[in-house]
Amino acid sequence: MSNNDAALQEAQPTILSYVKDLPNLCSLAGLACTLSAIYFSILGVFYAAMIGMVWAVAFDWADGLIARRIAGRTGNDRAFGGQLDVLIDIVSYGVAPVILLLSYGDFAPVYLLGGFVMLAAAALRLSYFSTYGLAGGAKYTGLALDNNSLLIVLLFLFESAFSQSAFAVVLYLACLSLAALNVSPIKTPKLSGSPANVVALAVYTLAMSGFYGWKLL
């Protein structure tokens, strides 16, 4: 190893040094919420899973808002945070909804196809965004993945009006429809970029947490 290579390696920050960055802490908090959603989905405690899913979105939106308000963040800080967001998004908005669908369908093989379509759409959607960014600097191409979780949490409000087998079909069709919208050419606004929308999400998150918490009692 040359002296220049050694000096460059020593100048690089440690991996864990990025944990103290507040936006990254929010991202990791959202990942913890996603893990709880996956855990409760597997256990079949779907109302608790809904709480985890909606809080994952809330932390996801909060990290971007906080990052834009912190002065002195370097280009590497922003690049690391962006990569961390993408990796967490595939878990929060790809893996977690798939496990929810599989679990609600009692892990019947027929749900594997829908799960793959959802996961593939999420991976394609995130890869496309990483390559091209916002269309015109203001809008997403395709429905942003965080909307999937918000709509699924809303859909579950009506779960008790159906039998489990009937709602499993409703959930299946809804998830496939969302996957199609994720990879469609439609343009959708970046809702998380507005502080007013973040406040609206906070109200939505608290309302849904209160409702599903009451259902768990």
Mean pLDDT by 10 residues, the chain (217 residues): 53 88 92 98 98 96 83 84 93 97 97 97 96 88 96 97 96 98 94 84 97 96
Examine residue 184 and state whether it is found in any structural domain, yes or no. Answer: yes
Domain count, the chain: 1
pLDDT of residue 5: 54
Cα distances (angstroms) measured from residue 144 to each of 49, 73, 107, 212, 214: 20, 26, 27, 24, 29
Angstrom distance (rounded) from CA 106 to CA 104: 5
**59 with 26: CB under 8 angstroms?**
yes
Longest dimension (CA), the chain: 69
pLDDT score for 10: 53
Q: Do residues 88 and 34 make contact, with C-beta atoms less than 8 angstroms apart?
A: yes
In a domain, 14, yes or no: no
CATH number for the domain that contains residue 155: 1.20.120.1760
Token pair of 57 as six digits:
């979105």
According to the model, what pLDDT value does residue 162 have?
97
Q: Give residues with Cβ within 8 angstroms of 146, minimum separation 6.
A: 57, 60, 61, 89, 92, 93, 192
- The verdict on residue 2 lying in a domain is no
* Residue 6 located in a structural domain: no
Within-domain flag for 145: yes
Query: Can you give the residue range of the structural domain that contains 66?
Result: 20-216
Q: Is residue 3 part of a domain?
A: no
Q: Output the pLDDT for position 181.
A: 97
Closest CA to 94 of 140, 59, 126, 52: 126
Q: CB neighbours of 66 closer than 8 A, spacing ≥ 6?
A: 22, 23, 26
Count CA atoms within 13 Å of residue 35 on its CB side: 7
Residue 25 DSSP symbol: H
Residue 4 located in a structural domain: no
What is the reported pLDDT for 4?
57
The pLDDT value recorded for residue 85 is 92
pLDDT at 138: 83
